[in-house]
Amino acid sequence: MNPFNGRDLLSLQEWSVEDIERVLELAADLKQKFRIGVTTDYLKNKTFFMLFYASSTRTRNSFEAALTQLGGHAHYLNPKTMRAGDPGAPEAIADTAKVLSRYGHGIGIRIYFPQYGEGEKVIREYAKHASIPVVSMESDVYHPCQALADLMTIREKFKETKHLKYVQAWGYSPDALRVCAVPSSNILLMPRFGMDVTYVRPPEFTLHPDIIQQAKVNAETHGGSFTETDNLEEAIEDADIIYMRQHCTLDYGKHGPEKEQQIIDKYSDWTLTSDLLRLAKKSAVVMHCLPVDRDHEIASDVLDGPQSIVYDEAENRLHVQKAVLSLVM
Ligand code: CP
């Protein structure tokens, strides 16, 4: 009996360290089999519905490729062309979830609303009514598949994660408004694997207090540590891992894009340059979930340099998602 069968993946907080270890073990096996061309049709004739309320390159294509490689099929669904997205009388989430549950074996959803937490509520509403597993493909709060790929990538580079200095840094991007899902997911996950996490951001950009509080609890429980600061240079000093990414303020949905832009523009020097990177350990790696705003969040010479592992992270999305879907579907 597979204990994962039928489980949702909405956040990694709901999966134990042992569960995550099982996913990473299977992901490594699937990665090796993919490399040498071994067939892994574990989901033969199974269907995964992917509802994208928001745009995507990596998530859509890695999930779609995952289903093909596992012998199943992924439906790309744009809710605007579904009854659920009918602007006049949108079909209830409960009805959409129940109907899709009669047709297939899993549902993935990506959704964010301007107001922090509203997208997460929608995903949980689908999960409540679906009788097949629901996988978060990113809400405004969590991006569990990205966090899994990031952890897998770190473990490939370092083997031992205990007391690695992991820096989650806010980065400047004038034109992008990124939700808080990646930094939130990663400051929660990395202390559970013994890392010493420093979260550095300008004063206005702290993550939700519940996330910060839980990150501290995770650190205390699992032997890592958690520090929050607004001093970028001090944070980068002696870092093993620097994950530089912009995220919006929690008030974005209330004050709107114009005010948000004014706040963002106060911090136009928050770019990971090669000078800044020199403060980290020589062996330090640079991470970003992509899409990256080149020369704003991270300088191009750093992104394209030997310390960048951003494409390894992107690749590992495929392998961890294949592992998760094989286990839950
Ligand atoms: N990292 C990530 O989720 O990329 P996409 O937005 O392209 O899916």
Q: Is the pLDDT of residue 255 over 90?
A: no
SS3 sequence of 270-291: CCECHHHHCCCCCCCEEECCCC
Residue 147 CA to ligand 1 center (angstroms) comes to 12
Ligand 1 atom 4, closest CA: 58
Q: Which fold has domain 12-142+315-328?
A: Rossmann fold (3.40.50)
Q: Residues lining ligand 1, CB < 6 A? A: 56-59, 138, 146, 289-291
Which residue from 56, 110, 136, 292 has its CB within 8 A of the most atoms of ligand 1, so it is best to mutate? 56
Ordered by start, the domain boundaries in the chain are 12-142+315-328, 157-309
| pLDDT single digits (tens) 45-76 | 999 999 999 999 999 999 999 999 999 999 99
The whole-angstrom separation of Cα 29 and Cα 78 is 32
Q: Is the pLDDT of residue 152 over 80?
A: yes
Taking a C-beta distance cutoff of 8 angstroms, is the pair 325, 134 a contact?
Answer: no
- Which candidate, 179, 154, 146, places its Cα nearest to that of 286? 154
Rg (CA), the chain: 19
The residues near 141 (Cβ < 8 Å, ≥ 6 apart) are 11, 116, 117, 119, 120, 179, 180, 181, 184, 208, 211
Give mean pLDDT, residues 246-262.
91
The whole-angstrom separation of Cα 187 and Cα 208 is 12
| pLDDT single digits (tens) 12-48 | 999 999 999 999 999 999 999 999 999 999 999 999 9
Is there a common fold for 12-142+315-328 and 157-309? yes
End-to-end CA distance of the chain: 13
Give mean pLDDT, residues 157-173.
96
Region 157-309: CATH code: 3.40.50.1370
Residue written as token pair 């790696």: 285
Give residue 13's pLDDT: 98
Give residue 114's pLDDT: 77
The whole-angstrom separation of Cα 324 and Cα 329 is 8
Handedness of CA 193, 67, 56, 140 (dihedral sign): negative
Give residue 205's pLDDT: 95
Taking a C-beta distance cutoff of 8 angstroms, is the pair 236, 279 a contact?
Answer: yes
Residue 57 CA to ligand 1 center (angstroms) comes to 6
